[in-house]
């Protein structure tokens, strides 16, 4: 089995080992309820990374690197992400 075939997991304090996605800190801290889905082709267990509408605008203008430089992205287990998304308006790609 190659490294590409191995599941991409993170250790979550609440859920143990689980697949993960990227999430902006604004969604994690419940500072907004507007979530924009970013397709994630790199991790087979996860369809999307998630950012708020403000971070999405920054990504469109300056790229994801700008969010990483400002420490606005974090790895979140998909179970925690699903809990965050329960209260969000989701903008999914067409």
For 94, how many CA atoms within 13 A lie in the half-sphere containing its CB? 0
* pTM of the shown model: 0.88
Q: How confident is the model at residue 86 (pLDDT cuts 50, 70, 90)?
A: very high
Q: Which secondary-structure segment (H or E) carries 24? A: strand 16-24
> Distance (Å, rounded) from C-alpha 80 to C-alpha 84?
6
User: Whose CA is closest to 39, among 69, 64, 58, 62?
Assistant: 64
The pLDDT, as a whole number, for residue 3 is 57
Rounded to an integer, the average pLDDT of 2-20 is: 84
Contact between residue 20 and residue 77 where contact means Cβ atoms under 8 Å apart: yes
């Amino acid at each position: 089995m190659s490294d590409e075939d191995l599941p991409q997991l993170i250790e979550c304090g609440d859920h143990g080992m689980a697949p993960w996605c990227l999430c902006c800190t604004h969604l994690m801290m419940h500072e907004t309820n507007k979530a924009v889905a970013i397709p994630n082709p790199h991790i087979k267990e996860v369809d999307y990374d998630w950012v708020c509408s403000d971070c999405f605008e920054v990504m469109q203008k300056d790229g994801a690197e700008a969010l990483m430089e400002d420490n606005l992205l974090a790895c979140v287990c998909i179970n925690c992400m699903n809990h965050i998304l329960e209260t969000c308006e989701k903008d999914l790609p067409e």
